[in-house]
Amino acid sequence: MIGILIVSHSKALAEGAVEVAKQMADERLPIKAVGGLDDGSIGTDAVRIMEGLYSVYTEEGVLVFVDLGSSVLSTQMAMDLLGDEKMKSNIHIVNAPIVEGSIVAALQASIEDPIESIIEEAENAWKMNKL
């Protein structure tokens, strides 16, 4: 089963997305929130993201959902800190909305779809109609 990491500038936003995704997913799915800074302020921290990547890593891969552009940069920096090229090649930053995309990915991962299919479905979340 893949792992999912949700990276947000806001701790509450990241944890909320994880909470909803966990309600929809297999309880075995490794999913974690990394949001905000240690002092509770808004921001991202590459070291905390790296630790999050280690905590959800599986050989099947990890999908990372981010909220804003600088969270992409922090995640890329965290991946560089890993040092392990094989591990880095199994981590994918997904171009999808953080909430809808991570929920879709959690559902698809729970039925153990291939990672490429999960990424595609999560990226299609941009097109979800809500009405």
Q: Pick the catalytic residue: 4, 5, 9, 67?
A: 9
Nearest one of 114, 8, 102 to 61, comparing CA atoms: 114
As given in the structure block, the two tokens for residue 25 are 């997913």
- Any catalytic annotation for residue 9? yes
In angstroms, the CA 100 to CA 32 distance is 16
How far is it, in rounded angstroms, from Cα 90 to Cα 108?
17
Q: Which residues belong to the active site?
A: 9
